Amino acid sequence: MKAARGRVVSLHYTLTDDLGVQLDSSRAREPFAYLHGYGNIIAGLEAALEGHEAGFSSAIHLTPAEGYGEYDPEAVFEAPRAQFPPGEDIRVGMRVQGEGARGILNCTVVDVNDQAVVLDANHPMAGKNLHFAVEVLAVRDATAQELAHGHVHAHGHDH
């Protein structure tokens, strides 16, 4: 069975950057499973897996545009310190969530002072080339419930 819209793909992957530094891997965990064609993984990786079946193994190299997008310097902005709870220990590198004009924003704190917190709303991997070593372990038809919910229900999960 081949990876196509409406099928669940299970795989192992290792993600590295341009220097070969490992950023993530499923190897020490359960295989990663996703519902193909529903935008549950980055578009470039999903496109590279399209039409492949169990046993497929490959190195997949993605540009920033195929991954998490180009880095946007305009996504770095200041938020008044008063918008954060008093006494909250805000540190550089923390991930915080807030609401913006377009909805929920996930940001990284890049600077803090008494008056403001500088936030970066870019994805942490924006602007980076991504190198995946993938091994497709299984492909199956999604259940009606998985299709209705738009994601995989692993290990009997139901909602």
DSSP string, 60-86: EEE-GGGTT----GGGEEEEEGGGSPT
Find the farthest-apart pair of alpha carbons in the chain and give their distance in angstroms, rounded: 58
Residues 33/154, Cβ–Cβ less than 8 Å: yes
Distance CA 136, CA 77 (A): 40
Closest C-alpha to 119, from 140, 135, 98: 98
Write out the two tokens for 98. Answer: 């807030």
Domain annotation for the chain: domains and CATH numbers? 7-68+126-156 (3.10.50.40), 73-120 (2.40.10.330)
- List the one residue out of 156, 148, 134 whose CA is nearest residue 49: 134
Per-residue pLDDT 10s for the chain (159 aa) are: 999 999 999 999 999 999 999 999 999 999 999 999 999 999 999 999 999 999 999 999 999 999 999 999 999 999 999 898 888 899 999 999 988 777 888 999 999 998 999 999 999 999 999 999 999 999 999 999 999 999 998 755 555
Give the pTM: 0.83
Q: How far apart are CA 128 and CA 62, in angstroms?
A: 9
CB atoms within 10 A of CB 104: 8
Q: Which residue has the tokens 């091994």?
A: 135
Closest CA to 77 of 100, 55, 54, 61: 100
